[in-house]
Amino acid sequence: MKRFEMRIDPLTQEIYYAVPFKGYSLMQDPLLNKGTCFLKEERAEFDMIGLLSDQVGNLESQLERARTNLQMKSSDLERYITLMGLLDRNETLFYAFLTKHLEEMLPIVYTPTVGLACLKLSHIIRRYRGAYISSQNVMSTERILKSVGLPDISLIVVTDGERILGYGDLGVDGMGIPIGKIALYVAAAGIHPASTLPVCLDVGTNNERLLNDPLYIGIKKPRLTGDAYWEVVERFVQGVRRTFPRALIQWEDFGKENAFTLLDRYQSRIPSFDDDIQGTGAVAVAVLKSATKLTGRPISAEKIGILGFGQAGSGVANAIVTMMVEEEGIDLETARRRIYAIDMPGLLLEGMEVEPQQRYFLQPLESIQNWPIDHSRAPNLNEVVEHAGITVLIGVSAKPDAFDAKILELLGNNAERPIVLSLSNPTSRSETTPQAVAKVIGKRALMAFGSPFDKVNYADGTSFTASQCNNLYVFPGVGLGSIVCQASRVTSRMFHAASVALSNMISYEDLLSGKLLPSLKNIREVALVVALSVAKQARDDLIGMNVSDDRLEKLIRDAMWVPRYYPYRYHPNLE
């Protein structure tokens, strides 16, 4: 049975929820609970008289109570647990609070605190959310999805827990990531929480700590591999298509080998994308486009070093190549040669045995033959920055302090306005800090970071807060636009359209102050602009709804839910 259904009264045009249950059952459903805000007539209709204190409250008083409660907590992890408790009790209040305080709450509900929560999830879990699909129950996927009891699902965020932030394999304890991502979809893009579903594919874990933990809630077996693993994924996808045929799937925090295979197998079959790969690339390109307005140099004139060439690194590289090809008319091979990929062995060179996603970015051996280095090994990061003349340095390696003072000094010698993107998160994994960049390069540096940092105070009394190169700028809008325009798939051109739209939102005054992205305070407007650009690109590429720009914008605006309490009416036989 559905838990509720949104309807419109044909006479009054009032929007209301049709609800099939009463009393404590209604009060304990987090999607429907209003707490003290149930009206007196609702309390009578739904048999709640005496189950609540007599006074009828309002959302503002509930928000203040939530704020006061949160201020009493002494650590970010306690604040995370408190917020998840609120989500488990009253989703409308949780999202109203998160939307109102998003900039402040972002480090709590997502990186970096969500990583700490995932490390302890089996020990702090209070209430299960979403769906857990395993090799033992995957044949019942349709039944599992229907048992969630929601009217329809348009967005699924799914992980197998193999690569959770910078912590690696956390098994089902990685479920905190899909839950957090969906919270951001709702807060930033206004996708209704009842149309979203976090999913964990429990395929085991290779983490010995979890396997030996008596409180671990997942399957205590080594991870499935090969055909056994892909059978679970395929059966899950089939179940989603049969139950929610228009749902968009976001693949989240899969190991890099599986992540690229997932994209190859499914991006042309179903609307789906990988935020770690495509979202990271799109927001990085938006930052670079903003930086070009200050440097006066096209991206194709830069020499770009990328440290760490897994999912995020290759995603950034491919997004940059798409920009060069689409906007600057550079041929594909020339664009790829502007990128210097540095991974575990050093600079990736022709003749190396590399992973499939890396092979397009191997530098020719002749490109380094005149470098005064030891040619018996691959050049290291210092040598690449110095001898390739790197002007844009991007870190997605999760190696703290990888961009040391020497490397930053070399970078600063190569360009008047060098660009530093240190994108690894959480904060403890960042390749450098704004303070370190400012100390070596000064105000000449253009920089953005994957995690939030304190502002930089310069010797002349001025200060600067580096932009946070957060995927939140992109993935909510991409998801919203794709869902609303009913895109049959999500393409690299749609992500590029998102990058362009995002970069165009930054004012010249903000650019002059060193900001490379708009303020997160305007994230709902950002999501709207990104969603519209994505929907228009899908339409123009004949894979989305064929309507006018004005019609698309109205559809997107109308789809953006604002957290508030709707009136309820009792419908006992809701199917």
318: three-class secondary structure by DSSP: helix
* Residues 154, 246 contacting (CB under 8 angstroms): yes
Tokens representing residue 235 in the block = 């059966």
From 17, 80, 95, 181, the catalytic residue: 181
Beta carbons within 8 Å of 23's beta carbon, 6+ residues apart: 46, 47, 48, 51
Q: Annotated catalytic, 181?
A: yes
Tokens representing residue 161 in the block = 């827990």
From 17, 80, 110, 229, the catalytic residue: 110
Sheet with 304-307, edge to edge strand ranges: 346-347, 339-343, 304-307, 392-395, 419-422, 446-449, 467-468
With residues binned 3-state (H G I as helix, E B as strand, rest as coil), the percentages for the chain, rounded to 5, are: 50, 10, 40
Residue type for 499, please? S
Residue found under tokens 């990531």: 177
Q: What is the CA radius of gyration of the chain?
A: 24
Q: At 513, which helix (H) or strand (E)?
A: none
Cα gap 357→395, rounded to integer Å:
17
Sign for the CA dihedral angle at 45, 46, 47, 53 comes to negative
- In degrees and rounded to multiples of 5, residue 69 shows phi and psi of -65, -40
Cα gap 118→95, rounded to integer Å:
21
CA–CA distance from 389 to each of 210, 260, 367, 407, 546 (Å)?
A: 45, 31, 12, 12, 46
Query: Which residues participate in catalysis according to the annotation?
Result: 110, 181
